[in-house]
Structure 1
Amino acid sequence: MVAVAHIMNATLVIPQLDKRSFWKDSSVFSDIFDELHFIKSLKGDVRIVKELPNILEGVPRARKHFTSWSGVGYYEEMTRLWDDYQVIHVAKSDSRLANNDLPLDIQRLRCRAMYHALRFSPPIENLGKRLVDRLRSQGGRYIALHLRYEKDMLSFTGCAYGLTNAESEELRILRENTNYWKVKKINSTEQRIGGFCPLTPKEVGVFLHALGYPPSTPIYIAAGEIYGGNTHLWELSSRFPNLIFKESLATPEELKAFANHASQTAALDYIICVESDVFVPTYSGNMARAVEGHRRFLGHRKTINPDRKGLVGIFDMLETGELEEGKELSHMVQRMHKNRQGAPRKRHGSLPGVKGRARFRTEESFYENPYPECICGSRSKLGIT
C-alpha cells in the first residue's frame, strides 16, 4: 500500500489491523512496529499520518476493493476517484500490486518499506535480539522451524491426515462456523496429494533426518499452540529432542507483556527465524514467504523449502513399507531439495498453461523473492546502510 499511495499521490493513513482472525488479537500497528520510524523513513516517498484528520471524518469516501495483482496503469486510472472523493478506504490490502513488470523505482520502494521502514517496536526488537543471543549461547547454530501445525491452519486448509476422527470433526466444525472462511467442504486427501497441507510433526522429523541433521540439532519452534499438544509434537521430539520454544528461552516476566497478542509473539518468532542459520517453513503462508524474502535480501541465507507435493509419495511409501529410512531415502530427499535452499535465483513467473488473470496467482510472490530488483551490488541504492 506504500507503493500504491505513491503511485496515486495519496497520503497513507497508518493501517488498522485485522481483529477478526482466529487469534482475536487486539494489537494495533504501533504495538508491533516502530510507527515513527516507519513514517520518517518513507517521508521522501509518501506522506504518512497516524490517523485520518478530523476534518475528513465526515466527507464522502470511496470504499474500494482494488483488483489483485494490478500494475501502475491500473492505479493511475484509479486516481479518477479523487474527482469525487477525498478519502479512499481500501478494504483489502494483500496482493493488490503485481509481482512483476513494475518500474524499478516502485519495486525498490516496496523493499525500502519492507526491510528499512518496517522495524519492530522497541520492546519486540529488544526481546527478539536477547532471545537470539540466548539461542546462540546454548550451542551456536540452530534451525528455525516454522511449524504451522496449529488449529486454525489445519482447519482452514482442511488437512486432517494423521488426526483422530474426533480431531478432524472439531476442525470441520471450526471451519463451518468461521464466516469469513469461504470454502467449507474440503477433501483432505486431495489437499495433501496436491501439496496444500503443512507437514505434520512426524513428517518434519523424517524430512530433517533424511537431510542429514543429527538428533542433537537445536531446533527453535516458531509457532502458536501446536494442535494436539505433546501427543503430536512427540512424533518430532522423539527424533529431535533438542526442541526450543520461546517459553523456555524467555522468562515468564519477559513474555507477560505479549500474552494474548499473537501478532506480537509472531514478531518475536520472525526475528528469530530471520537470524537463524537455517529456516524451514512447513507451509508457504504469509509469514514464511516474508521471512524467506527477508533472508534472501540479507544475503540469501539458507532456507530449505520442503517440496510438500513431492514428499507425499515418499512419506506414503514409508507408511506402506515400500521404503525404509536410510541411505536411499536420504538420497531421494536430498536430490529433491538440492535447488530449494535459498540460493540466488530470479522469481518464478506464472505456471505454463495458465491464462488470464489466474496466471498471477501462480507467480512467485515478490515478498518471497525480491531478486533481482532489490538485491544488487550496492545496497546504498535502496537508501539502506
Structure 2
Amino acid sequence: MLAKAAHALAEGQRKPEPKDLWAEPYFVASSWKPCAEQRDWQPSEGTNGYIIVTANGGINQQRVAVCNIVAVARLLNATLVLPKFLYSSVWKDVSQFGDIYQEEHFIDYLKPDIRIVRELPQELQSLDLEAIGSLVTDADVVKEAKPGFYKKYILPILHKNRVVHFLGFGNRLASDPLPLQVQRLRCRCNFHALKFVPKIEETGALLIRRMRQNVTRLGPLDRHLVGPFSKSMMKGERNRGAKVARYLALHLRFEIDMVAHSLCEYGGGEEERNELEAYREIHFPALVELKRTKKLPSPAALKAEGLCPLMPEETVLMLAALGFNRQTRIYLAGAHIYGGKSRLASLTTLYPNLVTKENLLSSSEIEPFKNFSSQLAALDFIVCTAADVFAMTDSGSQFSSLISGFRVYYGGGKMATIRPNKRRLADIFVKNNTIDWRTFEQRVRKAVRQTKRVFSRPVGRSVYRYPRCNECMCNT
C-alpha cells in the first residue's frame, strides 16, 4: 500500500487537494466564542490556609494539575502558593513553574479569583508537614475527586494546620459536577492565565515564521501563543501575490514509553518483543506483574479495538489518503521516535518537507532549551497549536488534547484538527492489501470526517480538551 501511496502522491501533483482538506467542514463551529474571562463572583480572600502543590509528570500533566489546584483553592477559600514541579526520572527536567510560565501574569490575572503568594509565611516554613499530617499524596486523593471530597477531608486539615501540601497532584479533580463559576475558573487558568515566558514565546514565534516560510501572515492563535512576538510574523514578504505558506503539524505519539505500555506489536518480531519487555521491566513493573497474573488481550485484539498507537507507516498512509500532496510542509512534534530514522523512512520519503524544531533552529538558537524537555515541549505546543492543520495519532494523548482544546477555544471554527478513529482505521489497514487505492482513500476520508463533528462537551469529559460548553465558551 505504501507503493500505491507513493504513486498517488506522484500523480497528485497534477490535481488539486480536496476542497475542505485545510478547513473545518462545519460552519456551526464558528458559533462558539471564548468567554471564560467572564467572572460572576468576588475575589476569594484565601483565609482558610495555604495550599502548596508539587505537580508531577511532564509539562502537559503539570499544566492540568495547576489548573485543577487553582479550582481547589477557590473551592476551599485557600491561598495558593506558586506551584512547583516535581523532578521526574523519566523527563529529567529541572524546570520550575517560572522557567516555563510568566509568574507575574499568573498571579495578577487570577487575583480576582484566588489569592496567590510566592511562598509560605515565615512562621509556617519550618513545619514538618508530613509529621503533622499536612502532606497529601495522590494515593490519599481518589481519582476524579468531587468537591465534597476536598471539603470533607482536606478543609479540616487546613483549619487545623493552616497548610496542606499536595505532592504529585495529577488528575484529582472531577470534571463534573462542579459549580459553573469554578469550572469556568479552570478554563480561565488554562486558556488565559498560563502564558509562556518570553524566551519560549520568542523562539516559538521564530519557528512559526519559518514554517510559514517568512510569508507575512498572522494566524488566529498567534497573539495568544507568543504575545508581543506575534508582531515579528508580520515581517517578511508583503507581496500580495505571495503564495500562502500553510503547514501541517503532526504529533506522532510513537515514543518507546507509549509503544511499550500499549502491549501491541509493530512488526519487529522477537527482537522488538524482547526490547519492549525489558523496557517494561524497568519502567512499568506493575504492567509486567499484570501480564503474569491475568490473561490480557492479544496484540491483534488490541489493534482491532483501536488501542495501539498509529505507526509512522500507517500515519503516512492516512495523510496520503486524505489528500495532502507531496509538497506539504509538515512539522513533526515530539521526542525520540521508537525505531529512529529507519522507522520514519516511509514518512520522510513520501513527505520530504518534514521538519522538526531541531531542523528549523540553529545550534545557538536551540542551545538554551537543551536538557529541558518541558521547555522543548512548550515550543512544540506553540507550533502545533498555530498550525493550519493539526494531526494527532493518539487522541488520548494529553499533549494532543490540550492543543486541540486551544484550537477550538481560540480558532473561531477555522482551525482544522485531524483526530483519527483508530478502531475504524485498524479495520481499513487490515484490508489494505486487498483493496485499490481509490477505495482506500474513500474509507480513510470517511473515517476521519466522522471525528470532525461539532458537539458540546460530553458530561464528565475534560474542559481543557472539550471547551465547547457554557462554562468556557458561549454559543452565539
- TM, length-normalised to structure 1: 0.88
Q: Residues 165 and 52 from structure 1, CA distance in 2 versus in 1: closer, same or farther, beyond 3 angstroms?
A: farther
Per the alignment, residue 398 of structure 2 pairs with 286
Per the alignment, residue 149 of structure 2 pairs with 74
* Long gaps (5+) in structure 2: 1-68, 215-243
Per the alignment, residue 344 of structure 1 pairs with 454
- Structure 1 residue 261 displacement after superposition: 1.1
Checking the alignment, whether the CA contact within 8 Å between 1:158 and 1:172 is kept in structure 2 is no
Per the alignment, residue 11 of structure 2 pairs with none
1:182 aligned onto 2:286: yes
- Structure 1 residue 71 displacement after superposition: 2.7
Q: Residues 291 and 83 from structure 1, CA distance in 2 versus in 1: closer, same or farther, beyond 3 angstroms?
A: same
In 1, distance between residues paired with 2:273 and 2:120? 44
In 1, distance between residues paired with 2:116 and 2:263? 39
Checking the alignment, whether the CA contact within 8 Å between 1:100 and 1:366 is kept in structure 2 is no
Q: CA RMSD in A?
A: 2.0
- Structure 1 residue 149 displacement after superposition: 1.2
Per the alignment, residue 140 of structure 1 pairs with 245
The residue type paired with residue 120 of structure 1 is: F
1:249 aligned onto 2:325: no
Q: Residues 57 and 190 from structure 1, CA distance in 2 versus in 1: closer, same or farther, beyond 3 angstroms?
A: farther
Aligned residue for 1:12, secondary structure, equals strand
Per the alignment, residue 22 of structure 2 pairs with none
Per the alignment, residue 211 of structure 1 pairs with 322
Aligned residue for 1:84, secondary structure, equals helix
Between stretches 307-316 and 264-273, larger displacement belongs to 307-316
In the TM superposition, 1:91-106 aligns within 5 A as: 91-106=167-182
The residue type paired with residue 430 of structure 2 is: D
In 2, distance between residues paired with 1:333 and 1:175? 33
Between stretches 239-248 and 58-67, larger displacement belongs to 58-67
Aligned residue for 2:120, secondary structure, equals coil
Corresponding residue to 2:88 among 11, 20, 44: 20
Aligned residue for 1:220, secondary structure, equals strand
- Cα deviation digits, residues 47-102 of structure 1 (max 9, x gap): 22233344213333422232222333333323222233222121342222222332
Checking the alignment, whether the CA contact within 8 Å between 2:86 and 2:168 is kept in structure 1 is no
Aligned residue for 1:230, secondary structure, equals helix
- Structure 1 residue 333 displacement after superposition: 1.3
Corresponding residue to 2:116 among 41, 44, 48: 48
- Structure 1 residue 316 displacement after superposition: 1.2
Corresponding residue to 1:62 among 127, 134, 139: 134
The residue type paired with residue 474 of structure 2 is: C
Aligned residue for 1:370, secondary structure, equals coil
The residue type paired with residue 152 of structure 2 is: E
Checking the alignment, whether the CA contact within 8 Å between 2:145 and 2:172 is kept in structure 1 is yes
In 1, distance between residues paired with 2:150 and 2:108? 24
Per the alignment, residue 59 of structure 2 pairs with none
Per the alignment, residue 426 of structure 2 pairs with 312
Between stretches 273-282 and 236-245, larger displacement belongs to 236-245
Checking the alignment, whether the CA contact within 8 Å between 1:161 and 1:188 is kept in structure 2 is no
Checking the alignment, whether the CA contact within 8 Å between 1:270 and 1:291 is kept in structure 2 is yes
1:125 aligned onto 2:230: no
The residue type paired with residue 135 of structure 1 is: M
In 1, distance between residues paired with 2:273 and 2:334? 20
Checking the alignment, whether the CA contact within 8 Å between 2:312 and 2:344 is kept in structure 1 is yes
In 1, distance between residues paired with 2:269 and 2:91? 24
The residue type paired with residue 282 of structure 1 is: T
- Structure 1 residue 178 displacement after superposition: 1.8
Per the alignment, residue 275 of structure 1 pairs with 386
1:232 aligned onto 2:343: yes
- Structure 1 residue 121 displacement after superposition: 1.1
The residue type paired with residue 73 of structure 1 is: G
Per the alignment, residue 165 of structure 2 pairs with 89
In the TM superposition, 1:162-173 aligns within 5 A as: 162-173=267-278
Per the alignment, residue 371 of structure 2 pairs with 260
Per the alignment, residue 461 of structure 2 pairs with 364
The residue type paired with residue 155 of structure 1 is: A
Between stretches 284-293 and 368-377, larger displacement belongs to 368-377
The residue type paired with residue 368 of structure 1 is: R
In 1, distance between residues paired with 2:308 and 2:397? 11
In 2, distance between residues paired with 1:156 and 1:27? 26
Per the alignment, residue 382 of structure 1 pairs with none
- Cα deviation digits, residues 132-151 of structure 1 (max 9, x gap): 01111266111110011112
- Structure 1 residue 322 displacement after superposition: 2.1
Aligned residue for 2:450, secondary structure, equals coil
The residue type paired with residue 353 of structure 2 is: N
The residue type paired with residue 465 of structure 2 is: E
- Cα deviation digits, residues 214-270 of structure 1 (max 9, x gap): 121111001111121111000211222210111111111110011111111000000
Checking the alignment, whether the CA contact within 8 Å between 1:61 and 1:86 is kept in structure 2 is no
Checking the alignment, whether the CA contact within 8 Å between 2:463 and 2:472 is kept in structure 1 is no
Per the alignment, residue 113 of structure 1 pairs with 189
In 2, distance between residues paired with 1:90 and 1:281? 32
The residue type paired with residue 148 of structure 2 is: G
The residue type paired with residue 195 of structure 1 is: G
- Structure 1 residue 21 displacement after superposition: 4.3
Between stretches 58-67 and 256-265, larger displacement belongs to 58-67
Checking the alignment, whether the CA contact within 8 Å between 1:160 and 1:188 is kept in structure 2 is yes
